[in-house]
Amino acid sequence: MKKFAFLALSLLFCVETNAQLNKEYFTKLQAEQVATTDLIDWRQVGPGMAGYCEEFWCHPTDKNVIMMSPDMYNTYGSWDAGKTWHTVKDVNGDGLDLARVRKFTFSYQHPSFGMAICGNGKLYSTIDTGRSWKEIKKFKGKFAELAVDPSDDKVWFAAPGDFWNVKKNHRHQNGQTSNVENDGIYRSMDGGRTWEKLTIGNYTDLDIGRIVVDPTDGKVVVAITNQGVFRSTNRGKSWKPSSDGLPVNRPRDLDYYFDKNTKEFILYMVEQTAFESDGKTVKVKGGVFKSTDHGKSWQSMTGNLAVDFNQISSRVLKDKYWKSLAFWFQEDVKTIQAKYPELPNEVFSIFHRIQVNPNNKDEVYLSQNNKHDKAFLPGGAWKTADGGKTWIAAARAGKYWIEGKDNAYWQSRNNPIGANTTFAHLQPEINVTEEMWGNRFLEIGADGRVYICLDQQVMASDNHGKSWEQIDDNETEKGSNHWVGRGGSNLPGRFMLLETGIKDRYLLSSGEHGLWQTAPLGNYPDKKAVAVKQLEGQNNHGGAHSISTVAVHPKNPDIIYFLSWRQEHRGKLRRSTDGGKTWENIATIFEAANSPWMGLAAQNSLLIDPVNPDNMYFCATRKMISEVAGPNAQKHTKGDYGFYRSMDGGYTWELSNNGLHKNASIRRIAMHPDHSEMLYAAVNDKNGGLFVTKDKGSHWEEVKIPSEIDFVNNVFIDRNTKDILIACGNEQATDQGGGVWRSRNNGKSWEKIFDMPYIWQVETSPINPKIITVSAALPIRAKSPEAKLNAGAYLSMDGGKTWHKVNKNLGQQDRITDFKPDPYREDVFWMAQKGSGWTVGYFKGTSDGWAEQ
């Protein structure tokens, strides 16, 4: 649908230039949940995962059904074995459902029936194989596990704990870092309708990781906990320790193999690696074990898992080894190095997951997380194909394996050598980095397909671990580095610049994964897809990863600027003069004493004067509301909050808050389209409001707005009508002026055109001012439940007279960080979400892809 086709759309909507607030509509929005319309069909833009994913599950009987719940609070399902992903969150809800799911479990008798448990104790059920979910219970406290009896889907177990919090829960010789208040387990005998508490031992700090119900006898249940292995023979009513044969009895993970024809049942367990003093070095206890008597006793299948660490030449891995020992013994690294200066001849890593091929009892995999779980050996996934006699590092990535300095040693172990993993946009960074990122999950499908997550990429092996391919993105053509996401992004989406001086080149900024631009699809078959190419980030070793805001020189589109708030090059103004091929820092604006990976001041609204491009502006926001959470610097050693300006092309900057109140939080600034010396500032603190400067920021004065408005989150000026629009409200929903207000006379009078308690953004189309987009956020601290209704994306096609909720296919409608009409098409829209990357939206009935003209 091209621009001229908008005439057809006008038949659907009443075009009105002087909109009046539809009080009946907004009264309904603030009183009941309103279903989204299907006017906009949202499709996620690549790249794919691009973030940590520690929770991933395979359906036990359907090889095509897989689920994942990454750490940025979206949750996805795939029903075609990862070819495409779709959010499974309620697009009409508050956006908080299915957040950080700890376990999805499906029935063996009725494959469409399943349940999911979140870390916060919320329990959900599905009857359509995970496409939609309904909350059925809220347990108190943290939860870590959910299990079903394979022979009877009326019997379920839910387990409290923080067992799988890999970033915070670490084990040492005296215990673990995560505290849990719990004494037992929950059981349901009626398919999840009612639950009863069953105690295990006399513990008050029981942390439960896995539960397995014996498929040959549902009365037998085995559980692994921070207090060891326990076994029940009466469906969990009573429990006894069951650690015969375990040298440490600190299990990390549990899986099982069951042959329904022969009834053979084998349990597999990986123990916590424990270190013991052995003269000038250490020895290890733990390893891998199996039980062939239904969990009564355990036999080692550790085989040759141990490695001669003297044969490992990597300094990075040695440093990780010393840190692992220091943590285990709860001493500092220097003390440990003095006590145990000799490297051990036999040592295995800290493995945290175990999986067995459901079709081959001898094919077992282990995983380790080098980044977060004190692990230290190479190999993201390890494997045995002979029941534990021999083990190999099966998933190999990075500089250590590419350079092959220790190849002779690995070959002496009959271990394959060289890297055998293929990444998407992360590949350049992986190639020059030591193997230090680790594996975040390990799962095997019903067909034996193995899934892992190395660094920030989901990968699969269809050949028993011989090679691994990423399943997050499709490359438009081999070697193009143009990526089309499959729908499962975990990217912190940020600001989008859609007018860049080059048509169809849109610039997309992100947290942790740098700056991107839209790219040609080539011969890619889906013409409504959007391909993207990384300009700065992992493709450039040492490049900037977290981009706050971006701008393009108004007279030379090859000159691009951006600001970064955390990680590499944080606090810098970075510039490219060749369209993003190379970058340089031309100014340092912020510095702080906190760690480099932590945040500095949030930076927004980088603007360049089109008349005199040497004049540049941005704001440093004190009160963050849509940014990825800290930890951010509490105090800067260089830089402060407020309005910044440069008069020499970005080389030097000055803070200019004259006329603003003390500690003002400027969230956005906007330049008048006809008078570049005039700028508006949206101030989103309790003493906030709308401010204007007519002298490039030398002096600010307050614009009179309705007295009921306290917090102004965004200001936008329509380039065609010169209307000023402001987005207002706060996260407590106490601002009586919350909503969208418009002035048609330079701020002399105002009308409310959208009435919701907490609005982050409002914009109009550059080619049709009647098209207005609004992002209504969730006021999470509101006392009234009604205030939390109907967060999401709203669209008006008639200048604000009528509005439409357009959340279809969105997974994070409560945290939309940017929402814009396309600058060239009236039937295309763009969105960034806090943890789901970017999305393109097509108006209902649109057949052409966004770049087709």
Ordered DSSP codes for 609-671: -SSSTT-EEEEEESS-SSSPP--B-SS-SB--SEEEEESSTTSS-EE--TTSPTT--EEEEEE
Token duo for residue 739:
């909503």
Which residues of the chain have a pLDDT value below 70?
A: 1-19, 629-630, 853
Nearest to 644 by CA among 659, 666, 663: 666
Nearest to 439 by CA among 362, 378, 514: 378
Nearest to 838 by CA among 516, 546, 536: 516
Q: Is residue 836 within 8 Å of residue 819, measured between CB atoms?
A: no
Q: What is the pLDDT of residue 634?
A: 78
Q: What is the pLDDT of residue 632?
A: 77
Q: Is residue 10 within 8 Å of residue 766, measured between CB atoms?
A: no
Question: 3-class SS at 514?
Answer: coil
Q: Is residue 468 within 8 Å of residue 424, measured between CB atoms?
A: no
Q: What burial letters (b/e) apply to 151-162, b meaning 16+ CB within 10 Å?
A: ebbebbbbbbbb
Looking at the DSSP assignment, which residues form a beta bridge with residue 159? 145
Phi, psi of 329 (to 5 degrees): -85, -5
Question: 3-class SS at 594?
Answer: coil
User: Model-level pTM?
Assistant: 0.95
Q: What is the pLDDT of residue 404?
A: 96
- For 378-521, where are the E strands, in sequence order? 381-384, 392-395, 421-422, 439-444, 450-454, 457-461, 468-470, 473-475, 483-485, 493-497, 507-510, 515-519
Q: What is the pLDDT of residue 10?
A: 43
Nearest to 464 by CA among 450, 446, 454: 450
Start-to-end CA distance of the chain, whole Å, equals 9
Q: How far is CA 841 from the centre of its chain?
A: 21
Q: What is the pLDDT of residue 19?
A: 61
Q: Which DSSP symbol is given to 748?
A: S
For 10, 182, 183, 272, 608, the CA distances from 175, given in Å and listed in that order, are: 67, 16, 17, 11, 56
Q: Which domains does the chain have, with CATH numbers?
A: 3-43+477-843 (2.130.10.10), 243-287+300-471 (no CATH)
Q: What is the pLDDT of residue 15?
A: 35
Q: What is the pLDDT of residue 853?
A: 54
Q: What is the pLDDT of residue 519?
A: 97
Q: Is residue 689 within 8 Å of residue 712, measured between CB atoms?
A: yes
What would the pLDDT profile of 74-131 be if each residue is shown by its tens digit? 999 999 999 999 999 999 999 999 999 999 999 999 999 999 999 999 999 999 999 9
Pairwise CA distance, residues 764 & 742, whole Å: 11
Q: Nearest-5° angle of CA 247, CA 364, CA 287?
A: 15
Pairwise CA distance, residues 125 & 105, whole Å: 10
Verify cis geometry, omega within 30 degrees of 0, for the bond prior to 613.
no
Q: What is the pLDDT of residue 663?
A: 95
Q: What is the pLDDT of residue 630?
A: 67
The amino acid at residue 641 is Y
Q: What is the pLDDT of residue 14?
A: 36
Looking at the DSSP assignment, which residues form a beta bridge with residue 564? 547
Q: What is the pLDDT of residue 628?
A: 73
Q: What is the pLDDT of residue 852?
A: 80
